[in-house]
Amino acid sequence: RGLQFEMELIDIQQLNDRLFAGDFDVAKTSFHAALMLAKDTIVLPSGSALGFGVGPLLLSAHAGEQPASVSQVTLCPGRDTTAALLFQLFYPHSTQIQHVVFSDIMPMLQSRRADFGVCIHEGRFTWQAEGLGFVEDLGTRWERETSCPLPLGGIVARRCLSHNVLANVQAVIHDSLQLALRNRELPLPTMRRYAQEFNDDVLMQHVDLYVNDWTVDLGTVGKNALQQLSQRAQSIGLVPLDAPDLQIFAAH
């Protein structure tokens, strides 16, 4: 389609920071960050992580404890992540928040360097084996309160790109997803190279959980979920009240 990509693979908060700095034309980002970038970026319909049962888990270093004291510390995977937004939405002013790279959260809980952690990605499947305590599934709470799937992150592009370029980027992402869904073994070498967990069964659990019909196309359900996220982020002051709505790119 006449496109050339220079790829970078970095931590989600680094992605958010670099996107704020204007370093990327197209990037995966947390929908929390996307809400704050809505003036300058547009959401592509394909490539999002959105669904039921996909939410971050609030875990504890000590079984049975609840976040209820400012002397306690909760680890979050980045200031602008949707995981951090959810923790602040459901546990406002409950503990101190410390932002660290997502892959450091469970090791820091195991070594008792923090009281709680909001865990994402493969940690959803491995926390019990790590001997950590379960506090709450933040995604389940979101679903209960909104009746919407949880929008975690998606692919955004600069509004300054031409419609033709945006349409071609969207088509490439859509087609690559369809190819990977038809040939599930094709992405495995790349997944093994970059994943924090090297067990193929866990990697495919990750795919089965986070890659779904809304990943291929956000559709009306995805649009409604993003509106819910925007309204709730504004209600606790994490996004300005006058921030523009997220716009989803339409190729036609």
Catalytic positions = 121
Angle between helices 138-146 and 219-235 (to 10 degrees): 100
| Residue 30, beta-bridge partner list | 153
**How many contiguous H segments (helices) and E segments (strands) does the chain have?**
11, 9
Q: Contact, 61 vs 114, CB < 8 A?
A: yes
Q: Contact, 210 vs 49, CB < 8 A?
A: yes
Q: CA 201, CA 195: separation in Å to the nearest integer?
A: 12
Q: Which residues contact 2 (CB under 8 A, 6 or more apart)?
A: 168
CA 141 from centre of chain: 16
- Token pair for 19: 């996107």
Q: Which residues contact 39 (CB under 8 A, 6 or more apart)?
A: 243, 244
Q: What is the 3-state secondary structure (H, E, C) of 91-123?
A: CCCCCEEEECCHHHHHHHHHCCCCCEEEECCCH
3-state helix, strand, coil split of the chain in percent (to 5) is 40, 15, 40
